[in-house]
Amino acid sequence: MRAKDAFLLEIYRGKGLAPGAIVNEQNLAKDLKKAGVASKAFIELQILRNQTNSWLRHAIDLRNQGTHRHRTPRIYNRGIVMPNVRIRHPTDAAIDWEAPDDLPDVD
């Protein structure tokens, strides 16, 4: 069981709900709505998940990249003078790394 799953399970138990076979945010949201109860912890979790600079968003991005849920887009352009290699961020496509100009040309 992962840490986030354990946290979601604690929200289920704290609200007196019986978790189903699959414990995830979507199922918890449905069950909370069906029961007509709110959870401040779950709302905070959703806010952190949607904030681009939160610790949870960074942890999710690292997990997704590490487990290949998102590939790290790479752009390889072979120019006339120098090859141009850039690595883009998987979610916002911003350039995270660009090869220095003094890399040797490899044939």
Rounded to two decimals, what is the model's pTM?
Answer: 0.57
- Beta carbons within 8 Å of 59's beta carbon, 6+ residues apart: none
pLDDT, tens digit, 9 for 90 and up, residues 30-78? 999 999 999 999 999 899 888 988 888 888 877 777 666 555 555 555 5
- Sheet with 83-88, side-by-side order of all strands: 74-78, 83-88, 95-98
Residues paired with 3 in a beta bridge: none
Give me the pLDDT at residue 23, please.
84
Rounded Cα distance, 64 and 61, in Å: 5
- The number of beta carbons lying within 10 Å of the beta carbon of residue 23 is 19
